[in-house]
Chain A
Amino acid sequence: MKKRIIPSILLQQGTQACLSQNFNPWRTVGTLTQSLRLHTRRSCDELIILNPGIASISDLTDRFFNIIINEVDIPIAYAGGIRSSLDAQLIINKGFDKVFITSAFIDDHKILASISETLGSQSIGVSLPYVNINQEYFVWDYRLKKPTSSSLLHSLHDAISYGAGEIMLHSVHHDGQLSGFDRNLDSILEQVSSPIPILLAGGFSSPADFRIALSNPRINAAVASSLFSLTEHTPKTIRNHCLSNNILMRNTFF
């Protein structure tokens, strides 16, 4: 399988794109439209919209969906405010290809099963923010701004058994730091027996980071945000770096 480079766009107040540090929004970098144009023009493989501050998807406007449809001709996923399979259906029907859930999964794993049965596992992912406390990994709850009592490995297994098609592991401590990704996850990843696609997010700071992460056979995609806004690196330059290091990446003709 080809490895993927996925810019994430964190939304605030509707359609403002911003960067976060340790899961706290800290700097606006433009609008959603500008970000989508920038990333697609720079030849990213996919996009993820993160909208954790939204209470319900009924708060999403037609303008928001029109921006997505008008600007994007590559795969795009959405996360934020999804509480049911009906919510997920609406998001996909309006132009997204996949959805990710976090809070709904933390509250009730059956919501994940319901979405997976309705849309198929390939359309539903689980995003698991996590923190490392004394060498133990725990899922982190964005709403409470603190770790849950659920171990990351246990939640990962639950996500797989309840029908997730992809899992995004997002290090809260590394988020937005541009200090390198979490290289200590091997012990967790080695215990995942299912060959489910795993996305890694948080801290990517250089093409070498992507090369090292994507060289791991258990990691299918690297998700980053600050790097693409605050440095000269683009998905295309990073992909070329990975290709030159014999990592299978997407080819384009046009």
Chain B
Amino acid sequence: MVHQPWYPLLGTIMIKVIPFPFCNMGAVQRFLTKSGYSFELSFDNLNASDIVILPGVGSFEQGMTFLKKSSLYSAIQEHAYRGGPVLGICLGMQLLFESSDESPGVKGLSLLKGKSSKIPNHESFSVPHIGWNSLTIPSDVKSTYSMFLAHDSLTTLADFYFVHSYVVNPEDSFCISSTFSHPSGNLCASIHSKSIVGFQFHPEKSGKDGYNLLKSTIDSLQI
């Protein structure tokens, strides 16, 4: 079923949302509907220009089990290998990588090299990391990799909502487009590599600031 807004579509973007049965689908759908995007929860007729969104919430093993059982595992991989845009949010971003210490032995989508590990324990930093936090744009990052963040002043002034216990450690640190502060050092808050974008935080739950960031990201991902 195609969800289409009653008002004119913004361009011709078709968004395919992975229908994880255990994630905050309603929040993503709300963003897409309110922002005027056309989207589907089905993966029939996946075109190279379609934007695939992997929403968050859940455990790494559960996420991968669902993708494999529903035959979406290879569909997403092929889509990404063809250069199709993929956007992962929270757990959805972690699934883009090879593995996670949360579920040892479970292979991720492996679109990017690296794995997720538990946020280091520290007496002044609560884990799970729940709440609003600010982003820092790495100074050594290539400008194209941070195109969604560095040129957007809202990300340096606004906070975004995090709710997670694990954090991605990409092998290629250049794909890190923003970080959040931790007593042991800055940790990955978002990634961008070619047509793949991931947010560890939840822009769809970060109020107007999050909606603006997500909208500019999706618009930029159009092929």
- Listed in ascending order, the chain A residues whose CB lies under 8 Å from chain B are 1-4, 40, 45, 65, 68-70, 72-75, 89, 92-98, 117-123, 165-166, 195-197, 217, 220-221, 250-254
Contact of A119 with B27 at beta-carbon distance under 8 Å, contacts A1-B125, A196-B127 already known:
no
Q: Which residues of A contact B165 (CB under 8 A)?
A: 120-122, 165
Docked Cα-Cα span, A117 to B206, in Å, equals: 26
CA distance A122 to B21 in the complex (A): 17
Known: A119-B58, A195-B123. A74 touches B206 (CB 8 A): yes
Q: Which residues of B contact A93 (CB under 8 A)?
A: 20-26
Residues in A with CB closer than 8 Å to B24 are 92-93, 95-97
Evaluate contact between A118 and B128: CB separation under 8 angstroms: no
Contact of A253 among B23, B62, B122, B157 (CB under 8 A): B157
Within 8 A of A (CB), among B62-120: 62, 91, 102
Given contacts A73-B31, A92-B22, A97-B205, contact A252 B159 (CB under 8 A): yes
Closest residue of chain A to B133 (Cβ to Cβ) is A2
Indicate the member of A45, A73, A74, A197 with the most B CB atoms within 10 Å. A73
Q: 13 A-B pairs, CB-CB below 8 angstroms?
A: A73-B34, A89-B21, A96-B24, A97-B57, A97-B205, A120-B164, A123-B163, A195-B121, A196-B127, A220-B130, A220-B131, A251-B157, A252-B209
Q: Is B30 an interface residue (CB 8 A)?
A: yes
Residues of A within 8 A of B124 (CB): 195, 217
Q: Which of A68, A196, A197, A253 contacts B158 (CB 8 A)?
A: A253
Contacting residues, chain B, for A118 (C-beta < 8 A): 22, 58-59, 62
Q: Known: A73-B210, A93-B21. Contact between A197 and B128, CB under 8 A? A: yes
B122-148 residues with Cβ-Cβ distance < 8 A to A are: 122-134
Q: How many residues of chain B are within 8 Å of chain A by beta carbon?
A: 51
User: Nearest B residue to A45 by beta-carbon distance?
Assistant: B132
Q: Is the CB of A1 within 8 A of B133?
A: yes
Known A-B contacts: A65-B26, A92-B57, A251-B157. Give 16 more (CB < 8 A): A1-B125, A2-B131, A69-B29, A74-B161, A92-B23, A93-B25, A118-B22, A118-B58, A121-B128, A121-B165, A166-B128, A196-B128, A197-B131, A250-B132, A252-B159, A253-B208
User: A92 — which chain B residues lie within 8 A by C-beta?
Assistant: 22-24, 57
Say whether A251 contacts B159, CB under 8 Å: yes
Does A1 contact B128, Cβ atoms closer than 8 Å?
no
Residues in B whose Cβ lies below 8 Å from that of A197:
126, 128, 130-131
A211 to chain B, nearest CB (A): 17
Q: Are A68 and B26 in touch, CB under 8 angstroms?
A: yes
**Contacts of A3 on B, CB cut-off 8 Å?**
131
